[in-house]
Structure 1
Amino acid sequence: MPKLRKPDAQPVKSAMRTLALLEHFRRTKASASVTEISDALGIPQSSSSMLLKSLVALNYLEYDAETRRFLPSYRVALLGDWIQRARFGDERITDIMDRLQADIGETVMLGQQVGAGLQYLHVVNTTHRIQFTIPIGEVRPISRTGLGQVLLSCKSNSQVRAIVRRNNADGTDVPAHFRETAILQEMEAIRQRGFSETKGRTTPGANTIGMLIRSSGKQSLLAIGIGGPTDRMDAKRQQVIDALRHRLRMIAR
């Protein structure tokens, strides 16, 4: 997978470490020791200890003196709770994703554009032994993902061309289906049918069907998708499309 260019403005180190720590807890859903956090963040234990002590003092982390382990406090849980309700009313998009996974049995993904990339904000994995998996927080070139392509379909062709050029700038051997002409043809197809479908073009052997999440306000657009091995997705293709449309209508209401 080609790498994206680094942004011009580099993040503040302390802020980056704090957010990386919270992302770590989100992935593991478990308490952690100083050593575990130091290893996970790739920073010295002394730096980890200072960061943890500061967050405990601010009541963003709880510390168990007996086990010497840290866990996010309830204050962290409340930080972003209002955002989902502000965008989707009584429905929480994470709950919708859980229902979709129960409906279909495949991996459900939520993505958002970040520069010329698509970042996976939340993933509900399938329980199948063979599965399509995406790390939460990973950023991939937006034109080379199913969720990214459905987001690009909302832009003008000139904007799409510019982003595709950025995605392909560092590539020495760009596959034909990722070049400008092919992407623009795919944009037109997505606009007409209302969803993206990768059919192994972005990840060999896997298919992702993605749709746009419409919400009130001027927030950045989000995309939701369901992905899995091509054979399983082909067998339930219409079921996937119908389930996505049904759940997204619930949000729209």
Structure 2
Amino acid sequence: MLMRGSPSGRDEAHVVKSAVRTLEILEFFDEVRQPTNVVTVSEALGYPQSSTAALLRSMVAMGYLQFDAKARTYLPTDRVGLLGNWISPPLFEDGALLRMMRAVHRRTGQLALIAARNGDFAQYIHVLKQPDAIAYHIQIGMKRPLASSGAGRVLLAASSDGEVRSLVHRLNAYASSDAVRIDLPELLNELTAIRRRGYCVSKNRVVDNFGSIAIRLPAELTSRPLVVGLGGRTNVIEERESDFVAIVREEIARHLVRPCGEGGPSVSFAAGHLQPSAA
């Protein structure tokens, strides 16, 4: 297993180490989904074994982990699953969002993820991938710049052009070189296209021969913008773009959208449903 290290884009000056490690332990269990011992957690996350053991014992005492004394392993309890289930009920009640993600992952055979905006970044908050997948560079918690990533641009498409101009002006003011400066006209044109078709295709931006498709969840379903992403080899993304987009939309409708009259939101996936906020 790869050492997670510090996710790209994390502002180390504004995080408390013990809090970060506690949350990364929960994210680690979300990835491995099996009982795990102290040594495995320590090596996977790059923490000292003594502090890892202390954190795990504390999480057991708080009821978030259970400890198997015979096997010397830890596993999250049901209390973890109950956290946050009151947020955006159409997404999280009865595990609807995760069922949708598993269906997309199974039908496409590609990496599937959920991304949300965190400041000037798109952050991966859930990732499903095969152990031998090429997308080793994508992990839960990692961040990608809003203006230069597929998921980020879909999230940014929910903003008005005026908000985008302000963001780009600020980011370019701190750019270390012309190579990382953002081309505002190009970005605005791309955001217009994303709003029209409802998704973004990104190719070879971070890793050669890797591409992605990002589709925003309908605004009616969530209290903040969220994006469903698919990632795989560039040639596969190119060849099956329309199929993948259709599959994601079908599974969103199947798992997250209730028929009219059942108390849930009714969502249309017609092109152009991504509308920016008022300037």
Length-normalised TM-score, structure 2: 0.77
Distance 1:145 1:21, change over 3 A: same
Is 1:48 equivalent to 2:52 in the alignment?
Answer: yes
1:53-90 deviation digits (Å, cap 9, x = unpaired): 22222221111222322222222222244446454655
Matched, 1:174 2:179: yes
Instruction: Specify which of 190, 193, 196 is matched with residue 192 of structure 1.
Output: 196
- Report if aligned partners of 1:194, 1:211 keep a CA contact under 8 Å in 2: yes
Name the CA shift for 1:88/1:126 in 2 (closer, same or farther; >3 Å). Answer: same
Tell me the residue number matched to 2:122: 118
8 Å contact from structure 1 (residues 88, 215) kept in 2: no
Following superposition, the deviation at residue 205 of structure 1 comes to 2.4
Moved more, 164-173 or 18-27: 164-173
In the alignment, the residues of structure 1 paired with residue 23 and residue 62 of structure 2 have an alpha-carbon distance, to the nearest angstrom, of 15
Structure 1 letter corresponding to 2:23: L
Equivalent-residue separation in structure 2 for 1:67 and 1:130 (angstroms): 30
Is 2:253 aligned against 1:241?
Answer: no
Judge conservation of contact 2:114–2:126 (CA < 8 Å) in 1: yes
Say if 1:215 and 1:252, in contact at 8 Å, map to a contact too.
Answer: no
2:163 corresponds to 1:159: yes
CA contact (8 A) 1:132 1:228 kept: yes
Taking the TM superposition and a 5 Å limit, the aligned residue runs for 1:65-104 are 65-83=69-87, 85-87=89-91, 92-104=96-108
Task: Give the AA of the match of 2:123.
Answer: Q
The normalised TM-score by structure 1 is 0.83
CA deviations over 1:155-182 (Å, ceiling 9, x no partner): 0112223333555534424268x42221
C-alpha distance after superposition, 1:177-216 (max 9, x if no partner): x422211111111111111111334543232221111254
Instruction: Give the structure 1 partner of residue 264 of structure 2.
Output: none
Q: How far 1:218 sits from its partner (Å)?
A: 6.6
Matches within 5 A, 1:211-222: 211-216=215-220, 219-222=223-226
Q: Is the 8 A contact 2:110 2:129 kept in 1?
A: yes
Whether the 8 Å CA contact 2:90–2:257 is kept in 1: the answer is no
1:212–1:222: 8 Å Cα contact kept in structure 2?
A: yes
The 3-state SS of whatever aligns with 1:174 is helix
Q: Gaps (5+ residues) in structure 2? A: 1-6, 259-279
Aligned residue-pair number: 249
Gaps of 5+ in 1: none
Q: Alpha carbons of 1:69 and 1:132: their partners in 2 closer, same or farther (altered >3 Å)?
A: closer
> Cα 1:44–1:172, aligned 2, differ >3 Å: closer, same or farther?
same
2:192 & 2:53 partners in 1: Cα distance?
Answer: 52
Superposed displacement of residue 139, structure 1: 1.0
Is the 8 Å Cα contact of residues 122 and 155 (structure 2) preserved in structure 1? no
User: Contact (CA 8 Å) 2:85, 2:92: kept in 1 or not?
Assistant: no
The 1-side partners of 2:164 and 2:229 are apart by 20
Within the candidate set 207, 213, 227, 2:211 is matched to 207
Alignment match, 1:35: 39
% identity of equivalent residues: 33
Q: C-alpha distance in 1, partners of 2:48/2:237?
A: 44
Identify which of 7, 11, 15 aligns with 1:6: 11
